[in-house]
Amino acid sequence: MSTVAAAFEKAAAEDRAALVGYLPAGFPDKQTAIRAALAMAEAGADVIEVGLPYSDPLMDGPVIADAVYRALNGGTKIADVFDLVSAIADAGTAAVVMTYWNPVDHYGPDAFARDLVNAGGAGLITPDLTPEEAQPWLDASDAHDLDRIFLVAPSSPPERVAAITGLCRGFVYAVSLMGITGARDAVSSSAAGVVARIREHTRLPAAVGLGVSTGAQAREVAGFADGVIVGSAFVRRLATAGTPADAVAAVRDLTVDLAQGVRRR
């Protein structure tokens, strides 16, 4: 059983949803990113997504896109992504990498899988990788026993949902709405429907991402999903903090609020 599967199993045993947090590597700098991730783990995150900064983040809203731009300008490399994964794994929390496919393809899928395993990572979330083009990653993830997490959108027809969920390991990423990432004032009304359609095809946990930013919203999503994914709200806390210490404290405080939310369902 992977560390991701174990985290979701533990959450289910406690009758709650798992909390999945996202942070980009190298933002606002390498050491603050590590400290923020460790604070997130200590405060109740079950799984942490480490964002691999990429120059063309098509799905990302302005908050994450700006953070990624600043991380790249600061010299963040793939090695820094693995360093952050390693720090999280050493702390006893499941870590996955969220990345567009181009950097993995350029690095070499098998080499990337090998180095991710060596860092203690559990798998990849690949938002722009389609089932039709996924064979190199399927082969590499099989060879290195890594989870592979694909996205199901509100627009995905049943046959597409079946194809996507059939390739997943760890959990299935349920996209709550069509559009780019970013915190919203309310959870999309389509989110529960996406989760229900995923469950028609797999027994894997379904975690909802895009739009959650508060404990109250986390509680709402935890009422129908196996996991709650939060990204932009964390990145905004990092971006608006006055000092690195403030940034770490802000991430910790938000994690506490969200962790209480997923436990109130």
Distance of CA 242 to the CA centre of its chain: 25
pTM: 0.93
- pLDDT value of residue 188: 54
Calculate mean pLDDT across residues 218-239: 96
User: Would residue 60 show up in a list of annotated catalytic residues for this protein?
Assistant: yes
How many distinct structural domains can be found in the chain?
Answer: 1
Q: How far apart are CA 201 and CA 174, in angstroms?
A: 13
Computed from CA positions of residues 33, 177, 54, 130, in that sequence, does the dihedral angle turn out positive or negative? positive
| 65, pLDDT greater than 80 | yes
Helix (H) or strand (E) holding 123: strand 123-125
What pLDDT, in 10s, does the model give residues 108-147? 999 999 999 999 999 999 999 999 999 999 999 999 999 9
The residue type of 1 is M
Q: Quick: pLDDT tens for 143-184.
A: 999 999 999 999 899 999 999 999 999 999 999 764 444 444
d(CA 97, CA 86): 11
Give residues with Cβ within 8 angstroms of 221, minimum separation 6: 17, 176, 187, 191, 208, 212, 228
Check residues 75 and 188 and name the one with the higher pLDDT. Answer: 75
Domain that holds residue 227: 3-262
Question: In this structure, what DSSP letter does residue 175 have?
Answer: E
Kindly calculate the radius of gyration of the chain based on its CA atoms and give it in whole angstroms: 17
Across-strand partners of 95?
48
Cβ-contact 117, 142 below 8 angstroms: no
Runs of H (alpha helix) within the chain: 3-13, 30-43, 62-73, 78-90, 101-107, 109-119, 135-144, 158-167, 191-199, 215-222, 232-240, 244-262
Mean pLDDT of 56-72: 88
The closest of 169, 173, 107 to 141, measured between CA atoms, is 169
Q: Categorize the per-residue pLDDT at 58 as very low, low, confident or very high, splitting at 50, 70 and 90.
A: confident
Find the CATH number of the domain harbouring 174. 3.20.20.70
Among the options 60, 80, 83, 115, which is catalytic?
60
Q: Which of 9, 42, 46, 49 is catalytic?
A: 49
pLDDT at 265 over 70: no
